Chain A
Amino acid sequence: MYISELKVENFRLFGEGENAALLRLRPGLTAIVGENDSGKTAIVDALRLALGTRDQEYFRIDDDDFHCPSEGEQSKEIRIRCRFAGLTRSDAGAFAEYLTYEEQEGSRVPVIYLNWKALATERRARHRRYVSVEVRSGIDADGPVFDPESRNLLCATYLRPLRDAERALSAGRGSRLSQILQYTGDIATAGVPYDPAAGPPADPATLSILGIGDFANALLKGHVGLSGARDRLNEDYLKNLSFAGSDLSGDIGVATGDEAARLRQLLEKLEIQLHEAGADHLPRNRGLGSNNLLFMACELLLLGSEEDGFPFLLIEEPEAHLHPQRQLRLMRFLQDKAQPVGGDHDIQILVTTHSPNLASAIDLDNLLLLQGGKAFSLASGETNLSPSDYRFLQRFLDVTKANLFFARGVIIVEGDAENILVPTIAGLIDRDLTESGVSIVNVGGTGFRRYARIFQRKNPEEGGEIDIPVACIADTDVMPDCAPEIIGKVAAGEGWPQVQARRWKVESDFGEGELDQHKQAIRARASGQRVETFVSDHWTLEYDLARAGLGRELFFAIALAKKDEDIASEKARPIEVMWHARKKWKELANENMSDDERTTRIYAPLAKGAASKSVTAQYFARILVRIGERRLHTPEQWKTVLPDYIVRAIEHVTADRTAVDTDQTMPDQVQG
């Protein structure tokens, strides 16, 4: 049995009807990712309310928990609906009276709907809100009310974020460890009890845990030191403080009460310590992270040893206190534990995370993206990704790219140069990518559309679109006709190979309108919904930048890049390099040639591999930043010297946000 669907209505940021949160979950592990305030915690809390949690911690509904739409009145009714599917025979038996037989591929299968409803009633007389809660079965909540005992079977194990694992694992009244141990098999049953009349068995090791406690208790009581203290306490003090006829007397011991109480008290005295093999010299109790891991291990132990309940684990931010490698290991472990095998003890795990580390370790199929109050499963069938995309992304969607799950906008680029240059260019036109929450994903070569399709829904008309703008920045990769000779693809004056026989293309290879069609074809590869591809007007990003008006800057950047090693080892000073370059630039600028030819000459070292693209990009960016700092140009002026497609790409992912931001930020302070 697993929760296959969760619907949350009128709870915090989630509204009702179209604005409700509807999550489709799969057996095993599901990770909810999304930026802050996207509703991850609301989802977790909704599950905590609907299912209840094993720590029995009561969690009160607040006035603020009732959804308040931007227009209209605050809602009075929170509705949370869980659908349980994949019922085993034992599940169906246990919940026979709550079943709904649902049509699925031609036959009906039993499922369980659990509808949790909180109703706020206004008592006019006292101006106080009362909340009444009801939990019913049935798809429309028209089935019988869940018996409290049957609900207990559905309780989730909940691990809060930034949990204090050390406290949970240390001794003390009601310690989590004692609870865990109490429910673990053999703790209560294995071994023989201690019989005070007969004394301990020949081998005290055969005693049960309680027996060991009772035996120790008996020894302690008889110990001369303790019994002396007790007698003195009673004789010298308590007796004098008692009323006649109702003597007070103290007893010193380990545990009292009936068996269950004594066992509980005994277990509460235990605490767990973690140590690493071969590191006995280190202090036993380790840092927060290790304790956290230990804590989760204990909870899993408990979950795995329970026979009756519904093994559902709800972890907020499992990454808390863990370093990246441990995060990966934990995630793999959880994913493994939750691997469904189709029995009664299949564990379902739901985690929320902010960690790209974790997100990158989880199968895309198991990810659920929360955005704009809506949940988008990234499982196959839900997205536009093809099976080969899933295989590809499984291998290549690593931690450096996984931040796309937490972004408000995504720019997907093909190489390092774009990765370095795009943020700088955004700054020039007054769009700050960081402020806008935009991530740049460098796919390092091809495949950008596979990443883009993560954000495209298969059936947007059903579940809506993911409202995260995605811009793919792509090169046209068509040279001007003059380029092949300049960059040495062909020798001057010699005939060119046939189009089919070469790997490069020039503009004249295309007939009337065919170049536009070519660009259109590139755009079409990743476009639709909030995803758009922006294609360079001519050749590559650097070429187009130079061609649009930054030729000089690129020229200098390349010059610096060529001398990069000398500069790094202080054999050359940048100022000297620049001085030489300026002379050469003057020559080039004064020569009479077409824009295409001049730009190709500027760009040639990059095309030929004579200068590193990424190093050039770094110098190029530095130059642009320096010019920008001088504030000689307004953003509008900058746009006239920048290629249009870059500006539009940046505007695509930042547009709405900056509009909102400027509304909200204070007017610039007058510089002093």
Chain B
Amino acid sequence: MFEVPHVDDCDIQWACEVLRLPTTAFHGSDGNDPRADVLLCNESLDVQACPGSGKTTLLVAKLAILARKWKSRRSGICVLSHTNAARREIERSLGRTVAGATLLSYPHYVGTIHGFVNEFLAIPWLRSLGYPIAAIDDELSEHHRRRLLELNQYAALRTAVGHKEQHANVNFVGRWHVASPDFLVLRENGNQVFTNPDAQSAKQLARLARQCTKDGFYRYEELFMWAEDLLDKHPEVVATIRQRFPLLFIDEVQDNSESQSRLLQRIFIAGVDPVIRQRYGDSNQAIYAHTGALGAETDPFPIDEIRCDIPNSHRFGQQIADLANPLGLKPQGLIGLGSPLDEVQAETDGRHAIILFDDDTITDVLECYARYLCELFTDEERAAGTFTAVGGVHKPGEDTNPPRFIAHYWPEYDHELSYAEPRPKTFHQYIAAGWKAAGGGGDTHSVVERIADGIYRAVQIADPAVKRPQHKRQHRSILESLEGLADLKKRYLALVMRIIDDKTDIEPEEWQASWVPVILEIAKLLSGTEINPACLDEYLTWPADEPDEEVVRKVRRKDNVYRFPSDDPAAEIRVGSIHSVKGETHTATLVLDTFYYGHHLNALRPWLLGEKFGQGTEGVRIQSRLKQHYVAFTRPTHLLAIAMRDNLGIQEIEVLKSRNWRVGRVQQDGDIVWL
């Protein structure tokens, strides 16, 4: 029978050594730190961990200890999260140790919830039902639906789609959700697609959904439905999964959606013999990938009876803790222990700033912030630290109510590049994303892989029936396909070399003349049919540099980093959405006001002013603003700044100053005048 390995103080010491942490890392200087209790606890637990509490380190330490003592070869630990951050953190901090290597391989699972559900439930079930897996991807799946729609047998449905999609912003087809194993299709909100289920178009829709599945195209969410279907038909699977994973860890649990939470509860907890589950998260930081998405109703986090609080942060000092604390839904009473990093020594107490701007100075905010950074931090500190500017809304929308989105502050901002796992729209963006993943290191592997990725994407745009290689390096797979075609292979490798060779940039003319033909030829080979180059025109465009703009070569590789001054940057500021910086630690963070049913920071004024505290009786919209900006406010170790429209009264400014904010107005030249 399964037994959780016993953990004692020796194990904690061992973990400190392996992770190169001070020996007091988990016990605290007074020996009373709740982190040690978490490590020693072998029962189900909900860890409510404040920002900068080192939650991931704590989890990694716990996993390392358990992995080292793990005996069973057939049962493992299941570690679920929303991103692969936990996996990457394990690779980073434990990668070279035996415990790390063990943890990342069979019989354990470390990965995303979606990945888990797909791998252990949905995909085996789909394979068993005889449905292939060509792509699990919303976009490709929509693309395939639209191709099928062209067929005569779906004529009635096509007409109906035409009516619905008259407006360019309406995506009817992409939102169809296959909601049952017998191909009942609903809208995303759960409503009927067509009011009359017996209508020709409704029948054709069910048929089309079935065909899509037979062809192997699925939206992400549909895989959950198939997983549920397996559990419906084979309730005993729950027992086998629990047998395999008697110990479950969930990281960033606050971000679980209702459907995830419900499914995980069904798999691991519901009924007899639940597994031991430890959840790590911060309910105050629950922000979701989709605007307006709701949190989990089932199995809410944290459960008070098994709750363990970690309110002391190793990220920031008490001043930032006090500024951020009221924004928590249920303020935890943040304790700022200060940053352990000694690279940055700057004294920033009393420097946390509110930067006010108007229509004329909105584009000067970033420069102003950059100048302020230069004033506060030494050259070395600026070189070593991480400086960011973040906003709640970063996707461009209508051009009203500035500041509506980030590009209102900085027009060059490209939100496509900002995603952790970017979904590029052009081949060029694939390469840019590859460089971003390479992170300025000399390793070319991520770039090469993205080139191959981009070529496969081109193939799939031209012919969605083509399957990507599964479980294989795509570059290798292309090379294999080119086996025996010496000339084309040579040209492909030349293309790869040309792109990874850093010395000179590719001009659009050269791209069009020399390299597009190579991609087209490979695409033709991989799809096995003639393809229409016109459908790839847009995808294969290479952006021209604006010749009259003085651009430093570095900036040309678009990376959403604001550099000031641009020719010889003294400050580099990474710009992105609040969502994209979840879990990050910055030296300084500028929070930009943005607009979604009202300007966020403006709406949060009562909390800044100390008039309101926590969620109180506020509605969903304010709650989501609070959580989002709580995340933003708790990123920096040293400097927190916010930028908002200049419509504060004199009295309000005085109150803010009394709460340790510095308030100033941006000038047209990027200077700031402190009030």
A→B interface (CB under 8 Å): 89-90, 92-94, 96-102, 108, 110, 121, 138-139, 142-145, 147-150, 152-153, 308-309
For the complex, give the distance between the alpha carbons of A510 and B133 in Å.
71
* B106 and A98 contact, CB distance less than 8 A: no
The 3 closest A-B pairs by CB, nearest first: A93-B243, A93-B244, A149-B106
Judge whether B471 is part of the interface by a CB distance below 8 angstroms: yes
* B119 and A93 contact, CB distance less than 8 A: no
Report B72 CB to chain A, min CB distance, Å: 7
Quick check: which of B123-131, B440-448, B537-545, B588-596 contacts chain A, the rest being far away?
A: B123-131
For the complex, give the distance between the alpha carbons of A150 and B108 in Å.
11
* B236 and A89 contact, CB distance less than 8 A: yes
Give the nearest-CB partner of B233 in chain A.
A108
Chain A residues closer than 8 Å to B230, beta-carbon distance: 101
Judge whether B132 is part of the interface by a CB distance below 8 angstroms: yes
Chain A residues closer than 8 Å to B471, beta-carbon distance: 144-145
Partner of B119, one of A97, A102, A121: A97
Report B181 CB to chain A, min CB distance, Å: 13
For the complex, give the distance between the alpha carbons of A94 and B241 in Å.
8
* A98 and B132 contact, CB distance less than 8 A: no
Report A104 CB to chain B, min CB distance, Å: 12
Given A97-B124, A100-B127, 10 additional A-B pairs, CB 8 A: A92-B237, A93-B243, A99-B128, A100-B124, A101-B124, A142-B127, A143-B124, A149-B107, A150-B107, A153-B74
Chain B residues closer than 8 Å to A308, beta-carbon distance: 72-74
For the complex, give the distance between the alpha carbons of A148 and B104 in Å.
12
Give 1 or 0 for each of B105-129: 1 = CB within 8 Å of chain A CB: 1110000000000011001110111
For the complex, give the distance between the alpha carbons of A595 and B74 in Å.
81
* B127 and A153 contact, CB distance less than 8 A: no
For the complex, give the distance between the alpha carbons of A294 and B651 in Å.
95
For the complex, give the distance between the alpha carbons of A90 and B242 in Å.
10
Chain B residues closer than 8 Å to A90, beta-carbon distance: 74, 243
Chain A residues closer than 8 Å to B73, beta-carbon distance: 149, 152-153, 308-309
For the complex, give the distance between the alpha carbons of A144 and B120 in Å.
10
Give 1 or 0 for each of B233-255: 1 = CB within 8 Å of chain A CB: 11011011111110000000000
Chain B residues closer than 8 Å to A121, beta-carbon distance: 483
* B105 and A89 contact, CB distance less than 8 A: no
* B120 and A96 contact, CB distance less than 8 A: yes
For the complex, give the distance between the alpha carbons of A195 and B343 in Å.
48
Judge whether B75 is part of the interface by a CB distance below 8 angstroms: yes
Report B275 CB to chain A, min CB distance, Å: 11
Partner of B241, one of A96, A108, A145, A153: A96
For the complex, give the distance between the alpha carbons of A139 and B124 in Å.
11
Report A331 CB to chain B, min CB distance, Å: 31
For the complex, give the distance between the alpha carbons of A110 and B234 in Å.
10
Give the nearest-CB partner of A92 in chain B.
B240
For the complex, give the distance between the alpha carbons of A147 and B244 in Å.
15
For the complex, give the distance between the alpha carbons of A412 and B72 in Å.
56
Chain B residues closer than 8 Å to A100, beta-carbon distance: 124, 127-128
* A97 and B240 contact, CB distance less than 8 A: no
Chain A residues closer than 8 Å to B123, beta-carbon distance: 97, 143-144
With contacts A144-B471, A308-B72 known, is A101 near B244, CB below 8 A?
A: no
Report A565 CB to chain B, min CB distance, Å: 72
* A96 and B124 contact, CB distance less than 8 A: yes
* B124 and A94 contact, CB distance less than 8 A: no
For the complex, give the distance between the alpha carbons of A153 and B244 in Å.
14
Give the nearest-CB partner of A121 in chain B.
B483
* A148 and B127 contact, CB distance less than 8 A: no
Give 1 or 0 for each of B214-247: 1 = CB within 8 Å of chain A CB: 0000000000000000100110110111111100
B→A interface (CB under 8 Å): 72-75, 105-107, 119-120, 123-125, 127-129, 132-133, 230, 233-234, 236-237, 239-245, 471, 483
**What total of A-B pairs shows CB separation below 8 Å?**
80
* A93 and B127 contact, CB distance less than 8 A: no
For the complex, give the distance between the alpha carbons of A138 and B483 in Å.
27
* A93 and B128 contact, CB distance less than 8 A: no
Most buried by A among B73, B234, B241, B245: B73
* B106 and A147 contact, CB distance less than 8 A: yes
For the complex, give the distance between the alpha carbons of A144 and B109 in Å.
14
For the complex, give the distance between the alpha carbons of A102 and B125 in Å.
10
Chain B residues closer than 8 Å to A97, beta-carbon distance: 119-120, 123-124
Chain B residues closer than 8 Å to A102, beta-carbon distance: 128
For the complex, give the distance between the alpha carbons of A267 and B105 in Å.
30
For the complex, give the distance between the alpha carbons of A101 and B73 in Å.
23
Partner of B240, one of A93, A98, A150: A93
* B132 and A142 contact, CB distance less than 8 A: yes
Report A502 CB to chain B, min CB distance, Å: 66
Chain B residues closer than 8 Å to A309, beta-carbon distance: 73
For the complex, give the distance between the alpha carbons of A50 and B133 in Å.
25
* B128 and A96 contact, CB distance less than 8 A: no
* A96 and B74 contact, CB distance less than 8 A: no
Chain A residues closer than 8 Å to B242, beta-carbon distance: 93
* A147 and B105 contact, CB distance less than 8 A: yes
Partner of A89, one of B125, B233, B239, B245: B239
With contacts A138-B127, A143-B127 known, is A89 near B243, CB below 8 A?
A: yes
Chain A residues closer than 8 Å to B74, beta-carbon distance: 90, 93-94, 153, 308
> Could you show 26 A-B contacts with beta carbons less than 8 Å apart?
A92-B240, A92-B243, A93-B74, A93-B75, A93-B239, A93-B245, A94-B74, A94-B75, A94-B244, A96-B120, A97-B119, A97-B120, A99-B124, A101-B129, A108-B128, A108-B233, A142-B127, A143-B124, A143-B127, A144-B119, A144-B123, A145-B471, A150-B107, A153-B73, A308-B72, A308-B74
With contacts A101-B124, A142-B127, A153-B73 known, is A96 near B240, CB below 8 A?
A: yes
Chain B residues closer than 8 Å to A142, beta-carbon distance: 127, 132-133
For the complex, give the distance between the alpha carbons of A101 and B236 in Å.
12
Partner of A101, one of B106, B120, B128, B241: B128
Chain A residues closer than 8 Å to B483, beta-carbon distance: 121
Chain A residues closer than 8 Å to B237, beta-carbon distance: 92, 96
Chain A residues closer than 8 Å to B132, beta-carbon distance: 142
For the complex, give the distance between the alpha carbons of A92 and B127 in Å.
16
Partner of A108, one of B119, B120, B234: B234
For the complex, give the distance between the alpha carbons of A90 and B75 in Å.
9
Give the nearest-CB partner of B129 in chain A.
A101
Partner of A149, one of B105, B128, B243, B245: B105
Chain A residues closer than 8 Å to B128, beta-carbon distance: 99-102, 108
For the complex, give the distance between the alpha carbons of A24 and B566 in Å.
73
Chain B residues closer than 8 Å to A108, beta-carbon distance: 128, 233-234
* A148 and B106 contact, CB distance less than 8 A: yes
Chain A residues closer than 8 Å to B105, beta-carbon distance: 147-149
Report B218 CB to chain A, min CB distance, Å: 15
Most buried by B among A99, A110, A309: A99
For the complex, give the distance between the alpha carbons of A308 and B107 in Å.
12
Report A242 CB to chain B, min CB distance, Å: 36
Give the nearest-CB partner of A136 in chain B.
B471
Chain A residues closer than 8 Å to B245, beta-carbon distance: 93
Chain A residues closer than 8 Å to B124, beta-carbon distance: 96-101, 143
Chain A residues closer than 8 Å to B129, beta-carbon distance: 101
Most buried by A among B105, B119, B127, B471: B127
Chain A residues closer than 8 Å to B241, beta-carbon distance: 93, 96
Report A103 CB to chain B, min CB distance, Å: 9
Report A158 CB to chain B, min CB distance, Å: 20
For the complex, give the distance between the alpha carbons of A150 and B244 in Å.
12
Partner of B234, one of A98, A101, A149, A150: A101
Give the nearest-CB partner of B109 in chain A.
A97
Report A77 CB to chain B, min CB distance, Å: 14
Most buried by A among B105, B240, B241: B240
Chain B residues closer than 8 Å to A99, beta-carbon distance: 124, 128
For the complex, give the distance between the alpha carbons of A556 and B135 in Å.
87
Chain B residues closer than 8 Å to A89, beta-carbon distance: 236, 239-240, 243
Chain B residues closer than 8 Å to A110, beta-carbon distance: 240
Chain A residues closer than 8 Å to B107, beta-carbon distance: 94, 149-150
For the complex, give the distance between the alpha carbons of A256 and B507 in Å.
66
